[in-house]
């Protein structure tokens, strides 16, 4: 298979809509723009929320409250069961090791370990946060849960 052998699925490619080429084509006369008015003119584009000069709804409604989105702390989340599936040669688990294994992205987020799944071998896990169940499961398997 080469690039020049690839073809589109039937129905994937549509012919270009030709407007203004006579009424028989279905897009003649006003070219699908309706009658007169602002939207019929060339170069017209009405921004979202514009209500023809009337006070728009988003300006009528009160804007109150606080949103924490910009100030949130984002965590890369890994379950204890995912740690159990790591290669046997890995004994020290931290962000760098998990990025190398492909479990999390290297986007600078903090690491949080959740308690879903089972762990059978001892691992030394370093993370910013642990859930209580994750900490118990890591320590029961003979490992260490280090907050750091």
Res 25 pLDDT > 90: no
Q: What is the pLDDT of residues 53-75, one digit of tens each?
A: 999 999 999 989 999 999 999 99
Q: How far is CA 57 from the centre of its chain?
A: 29
Q: What is the pLDDT of residues 71-108, one digit of tens each?
A: 999 999 999 999 999 999 999 999 999 999 999 999 88
Q: Which residue has the tokens 């030394």?
A: 124
**Exposure of 98 by Cβ count < 10 A (0-12 exposed, 13-18 middle, 19+ buried)?**
buried
Which residues on neighbouring strands pair with residue 79, listed in sequence order?
114
* CA distance linking residue 49 with residue 73, whole number of Å: 33
> Is the pTM for the entire model greater than 0.75?
no
CA angle at 72 for the pair 67 and 78, rounded to the nearest 5° = 135
Domains and CATH numbers, the chain: 16-65 (no CATH), 73-147 (3.100.10.10)
Q: How far is CA 88 from the centre of its chain?
A: 32
Q: What are phi and psi of 81, to 5 degrees?
A: -60, -30
């Amino acid at each position: 298979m080469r690039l020049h052998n690839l073809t589109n699925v039937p129905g994937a490619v549509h012919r270009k809509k030709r407007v203004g080429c006579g009424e028989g084509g279905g897009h003649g006369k006003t070219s699908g723009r309706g009658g007169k008015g602002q939207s019929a003119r060339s170069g017209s584009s009405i921004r979202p929320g514009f209500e023809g000069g009337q006070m728009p709804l988003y300006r009528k409604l009160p804007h109150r409250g606080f949103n924490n989105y910009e100030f949130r702390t984002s965590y890369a989340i890994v379950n204890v069961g995912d740690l159990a599936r790591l290669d046997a040669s890995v004994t020290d688990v931290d962000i760098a090791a998990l990025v190398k294994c492909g479990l999390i992205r290297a986007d600078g987020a903090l690491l949080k370990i959740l308690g879903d799944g089972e762990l059978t071998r001892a691992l030394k896990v370093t993370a910013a946060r642990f859930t209580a169940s994750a900490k118990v499961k890591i320590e029961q398997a003979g490992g260490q849960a280090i907050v750091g």
